[in-house]
Amino acid sequence: MNRVVVTGLGAISPLGLDVTSLWQGVISGRSGVDYITLFDATGFDSRFAAEVKGFEPTVYLDRKEARRMDRFVQFAVVASREAVSAACLPLNDHQAENIGVIIGSGIGGLATLSEQIQVLITKGPGRVSPFLVPMMITDMASGQVSIALGAKGPNFCTTSACASGSDAIGVAYELIKSGHALGMVAGGSEAPITPIGVAGFSAARALSTRNHEPQKASRPFDQERDGFVIGEGAGVLVLENLDFARSRGAPILAEVVGYGAAGDAYHITQPAQGGDGGARAMCLALRKAGLEPEAVNYINAHATATPLGDKEETAAIKRVFGEHAYHIPISGTKSMTGHLLGAAGAVEAIVCVLAIQHGFIPPTINLDTPDPDCDLDYVPHEARPVSVTVAMSNALGFGGHNSSLIFRRYEDSLG
């Protein structure tokens, strides 16, 4: 089987409009959460979110082109261009058919759908935009990225709620490993901060209602956590066959060595008791990577700050790693970025790669009163210098979707 490496990263996040801003934000422990500005949230139970600030699509895209893309598609295209540029990956006619795109999204073009429903109600069916469907459907981020880049290889979307971005990377890894592609542009994108999006998650009692101090609202593993903070953005990685990357002198940032996916078959929103599905996903990723649990020395947890989610993920980690679980530094970076839903796993995979690159582990901020049921090392408040050799990223979604990715420091001597 082919080895698979990471050669480029791209991100649009609540901490900034590129990968550097994302990394500087999480390492400094800066919160990207604030009061909602994308719409008037007066009267909403939750009036804050982790918005992408200062994003002007026409800085990156042709005006006409930008108008025909939902915000989640715009994020995906911009992040993908950053990743491909960082990878120094030319998509010429000779290799375009061997480079594919998978961009996951849990919700897709919610803003476009909401707007056009209002048009239908107030102005009638004849005024609905002909671009409604191609702007709204979840696969269009992947479709538009392939058009923007000229990538003609495998092209599709993964939709597995909050595991969508992680699954996109995992499937891309499997395609390269099995020889179906030389390279893949993979990740996730989401833009759910709309009235119906916030109202829907609020109605499900999934969101924090800490309106008096929004920057402290996302509190993974804290006893006073009361739900997640909805966020938006995109994360994209360029994955390549190692031989192909070497042949063109590509920058190699890390190696992807494992991917595991498992279903809870339990509940539409709640995780399985004891973290069963998450544990099986982690075990499968370790088995595919050929690694013992003791090899992992950093975990970026799903850590949404929901009462059940954090407790069951902690139980899953203990189940997989045993006593070693207490010796693994674990970050809940959603404490700073909020929960980017279908983009979360991809952004957190980027954080894992950067932790390997830079030898620093981001903190979990707002962890002031640890939950007794969550008693592992969550790197509270401040980043920590650690030589990271093997990093795991977990993503757990509504519907019982569980995904785990493993990244390892690249060593040429391994082959």
Please give the CATH architecture assigned to the domain spanning 260-414: 3-Layer(aba) Sandwich (3.40)
Long-range pairs for 287-294 at CB < 8 Å and ≥24 separation? 287/258, 287/260, 288/257, 288/258, 288/259, 288/260, 289/257, 289/258, 289/406, 289/408, 290/257, 291/257, 291/258, 291/390, 291/406, 293/320, 293/321, 293/322, 293/324, 294/324
Annotated active-site residue 339? The verdict is yes
Confidence band for 333, pLDDT divided at 50, 70 and 90: very high
CA angle (353 as vertex; 370, 191 as ends), nearest 5:
75
Q: Give residue-wise pLDDT tens across range 28-83.
A: 999 999 999 999 999 999 999 999 999 999 999 999 999 999 999 999 999 999 99
Spell out the alpha helix ranges (H) of 62-150.
Answer: 63-67, 71-87, 110-123, 132-136, 140-149
Catalytic residue among 267, 283, 339, 401: 339
Q: Is the pLDDT of residue 413 over 80?
A: no
Annotated active-site residue 401? The verdict is no
Catalytic residue among 157, 162, 352, 374: 162
Distance CA 331, CA 333 (A): 6
Q: Give residue-wise pLDDT tens across range 247-271.
A: 999 999 999 999 999 998 888 878 8
Q: Give residue-wise pLDDT tens across range 274-312.
A: 889 999 999 999 999 999 999 999 999 999 999 999 999
Domain ranges, ordered by start, for the chain: 4-247, 260-414
Catalytic residue among 88, 157, 283, 302: 302
4-247 shares its CATH topology with 260-414: yes
Annotated active-site residue 267? The verdict is no
Can you tell me whether residue 138 is helix, strand or coil?
Answer: coil
Q: Tokens 């961009």 — which residue?
A: 103
Q: What type of residue is 355?
A: A
Distance CA 172, CA 177 (A): 9
Spell out the alpha helix ranges (H) of 35-70.
Answer: 63-67
Is the pTM higher than 0.95?
Answer: yes
Closest CA to 289 of 165, 392, 166, 179: 392
Class of domain 4-247: alpha beta
Can you tell me whether residue 190 is helix, strand or coil?
Answer: strand
Q: Give residue-wise pLDDT tens across range 151-169.
A: 999 999 999 999 999 999 9
Contact 169, 256 (CB under 8 A): yes
Can you tell me whether residue 121 is helix, strand or coil?
Answer: helix
Count the residues in the chain: 415
Q: What pLDDT, on the 0 to 100 scale, is given for residue 268?
A: 85
- Alpha carbon of 276 to those of 200, 222, 309, 311, 406: distances in Å? 27, 22, 12, 12, 19
